[in-house]
Amino acid sequence: MKKSISGFILLIFFIVACSTNESTIKAPIGTVITQTQATASYLTPIPIDTLIPTMSRTPAPKETSIPPTVIPWPLITPNSDGTNRDNPIEIHAQLGLTMDYEQEFTITFLEVKRGKDAWKDIYGINIYNPRAPADKEYVLANIELNYTKGPTGKTLQIDPFEFGSVTNNVVLPIQLVVLDPDFFKKFSKGLAVGDKAYGLVAFLVFKDDPNPLIYFGNPSGENVWYFSTNKIKNING
C-alpha cells in the first residue's frame, strides 16, 4: 500500500514538473511574438501628406501606362487629335477622353510659362524648389481636369505620372516640385462627376529645344496624347 501511494506521488510530481517545463519553454516564444508585434507597429509608414515639404523629390523616370480602354471622344481641337508629335494639341484646346468606356473627362492646358517666367513662379511658391540643371529650364503649365460624365458614385482617378515632357526627342517625367499640393490630392483621391480641378504642374525641357511637348499617357505605347507648349488656340474661333 505504501509503495502504491509513493508511486502515485511520484507520478503526480512528474506530471507537474513536465507542465512547468512546457510553460517555461513557451513563455519566451510568446514574449518574442509580443515584442515583434510591438516593433512592427513602429514600422507603419507615415503618410507623405503629413510630412512638411522642404525640398523637391524628383523621382526617377518610370514606365507608366494608361489602361487600354482609354479612348478619345469628339471634344478635341479641330486642328489635331494630339496623337502625333508633329501636330500637338494647342493651349486652350480641350482633349476629350473616355476611361473604361464610361467616364468622360477633358484635359485643357490653360496657360504655359517657360524659362525665367516659369522659374519666377516656381521659386516664389517655395524657395526650396531646386533650380533646373544648366542645360534645361522649367515649363510651368496650368492644367484643368474636368470630369464631365460617368456613373454616380464612381470617381475619376488620374495618375500624375501619366504626364511628362518630350524635349529633343528625350522623354522626361513630371517634376514633383512643391507647387499645389491640393491639386495632386484631387488627382489621387479622384474627382466626382461634374468636378473640375485646376493646378500648376512643372516639367523640364532642354533650353535649346524650340518646341518641347507635354504628353499624357504612355509615350512608349499607343495611348498617348501630346500638347504644345507654345502654340495657342484662338479661343474666339
pLDDT at residue 183, rounded to an integer = 72
How confident is residue 128, by pLDDT bands cut at 50, 70 and 90?
very high
pLDDT at residue 178, rounded to an integer = 84
SS3 140: strand
CA-to-CA separations, 190 to 90, 145, 183, in angstroms, rounded: 26, 11, 10
Q: Which CATH number applies to 53-232: 3.30.70.1060, 1.10.10.10, 2.60.40.1240, 3.40.50.1400?
A: 2.60.40.1240
Highest averaged pLDDT of the listed ranges 33-42, 120-129, 177-186, 215-224: 120-129
Q: All 3 cell numbers of residue 228?
A: 504644345
Query: Where along the chain do its domains lie?
Result: 1-44, 53-232
- Asked if 119 and 137 count as a contact pair (C-beta separation under 8 A), the reply is yes
- Asked if 223 and 98 count as a contact pair (C-beta separation under 8 A), the reply is no
Residue 169's Cβ-side half-sphere holds a number of Cα atoms within 13 Å equal to 0
Q: All 3 cell numbers of residue 31?
A: 514574449
pLDDT tens for each residue of 187-235:
667 899 999 988 899 999 999 999 999 999 888 877 899 999 998 866 5
Q: Which residue do the cell numbers 495618375 mark?
A: 159
- Asked if 143 and 186 count as a contact pair (C-beta separation under 8 A), the reply is no
Q: Is the pLDDT of residue 165 over 70?
A: yes
pLDDT at residue 225, rounded to an integer = 93
How confident is residue 119, by pLDDT bands cut at 50, 70 and 90?
very high
- Asked if 229 and 213 count as a contact pair (C-beta separation under 8 A), the reply is yes
Of 4-8, 158-162, 223-227, which gets the smallest average pLDDT?
4-8
SS3 132: coil
pLDDT at residue 135, rounded to an integer = 97
Q: Which residues of 103-130 are buried (b: 16+ CB within 10 A; e: fewer)?
A: bbbbbbbeebbbeeebbebbeebeeebe
pLDDT tens for each residue of 34-93:
333 333 333 333 333 333 333 333 343 444 444 434 555 444 444 567 888 999 999 999
